[in-house]
Amino acid sequence: MQVVRRIREMQKISDKLRKEGKRIGLVPTMGYLHEGHVSLVRKAKERSDSVVASIFVNPTQFGPGEDFERYPRDEEGDKAKLDKAGVEFLFIPEAKEMYPPRYQTYIEATEVSKGLCGDFRPGHFRGVATVVAKLFNIVKPHVAVFGEKDYQQLLVIKRMVEDLNFDVEIIPGTLIREEDGIAMSSRNTYLPAAGRKRATVLHRSLEKGKNLFESGERRASALVHAVRKSIESVEGVSVQYVEIRDAETLERVDQVSGPAVIAVAAMVGPVRLIDNITIGGEK
Ligand code: AMP
């Protein structure tokens, strides 16, 4: 695996790969990798000839008071995992080259960024869309894989690609969980043992919502209420939101009549976690 740190060098490599007729698959990450990330690499490998992974803790998607400075890092561990998974190029740009002085261009997918995490992390999806657009211009991928763990992010990227005519196919990657049901996340490392146990309530509650749906409940309000109540039954866990949205468009739904996603965000002590589950059949 070749590590590439400069933008121009990455562009040259991608130009060469394209000239050779290779399909390029991109997996963008912020590092501190786990099995969820590796599953995206596997998916990218199935769909391309050369996989490029990126590690970049993107400053523009963090708000004031968020964890930008203390986001966990393990470059050596990450390299070993990506190399083993068959990544050919690892792109690790520097913030000062990605956002040089006088940088001033941003991308915003307006409607899909509203509600859910958009309400609690103002500017977050603008930062995400912007950095992903930049990565697309640098890596020039044919396909790019994004996890369903960050469901709203996936739909923001899909919207951006469609609206701005990026010639990239966006492939969703299944949400990968730990054995106890917790959605894998680099941020799980912030959880102390007690918090970790409490955090399992998120997935359990989403499953309850799904079961309720499968036993015939179609009213979004009733499903949301049940999930929220279940999460709030655990001390030390406070809900930021529980919402049900259309799985394709992320539009609000009152009655679940097609594929939908139940999405939650909660604070487990000082740690913010998100999770989701899809209901109502295939997306
Ligand atoms: P991150 O490093 O957290 O920015 O995530 C990079 C990519 O990995 C994003 O597309 C995430 O949605 C995806 N990802 C993170 N956690 C998981 C997970 N547990 N299962 C599947 N994909 C994930």
pLDDT in single tens digits along all 283 residues of the chain: 999 999 999 999 999 999 999 999 999 999 999 999 999 999 999 999 999 999 999 999 999 999 999 999 999 999 999 999 999 999 999 999 999 999 999 999 999 999 999 999 999 999 999 999 999 999 999 999 999 999 999 999 999 999 999 999 999 999 999 999 999 999 999 999 999 999 999 999 999 999 999 999 999 999 999 999 999 999 999 999 999 999 999 999 999 999 999 999 999 999 999 999 999 986 5
Spell out the residues 6+ positions from residue 153 whose beta carbon is closer than 8 angstroms to its own: 125, 128, 146
* C-alpha of residue 217 to centroid of ligand 1, in Å: 31
Q: Is the CB of 118 under 6 A from ligand 1?
A: no
CB 175 near ligand 1, within 6 Å: yes
Q: What is the pLDDT of residue 282?
A: 60
Pocket test for ligand 1, best of 26, 32, 38, 40 (most atoms within 8 A of CB): 40
Q: Which atom of ligand 1 is nearest to the CA of 145?
A: 10
- Nearest-atom number in ligand 1 for the CA of 147 is 12
Name the token pair of 68: 């930008």
- Which of the listed residues 125, 132, 145, 149 should we mutate to test ligand 1's pocket, taking the one with most ligand atoms within 8 A of CB? 149
Alpha-carbon torsion (30, 32, 37, 38), positive or negative:
positive
The residues annotated with a catalytic role in the active site are: 37
Residue 205 Cβ inside 6 Å of ligand 1? The answer reads: no
What is the gyration radius of the CA atoms in the chain, in angstroms?
A: 19
Tell me if 183 CB under 6 Å of ligand 1: yes
Q: What is the pLDDT of residue 281?
A: 80
Tell me how far the alpha carbon of residue 215 lies from the centroid of ligand 1, in angstroms: 31
Ligand 1 atom closest to 40 (CA) = 22
Note the pLDDT of residue 115.
97
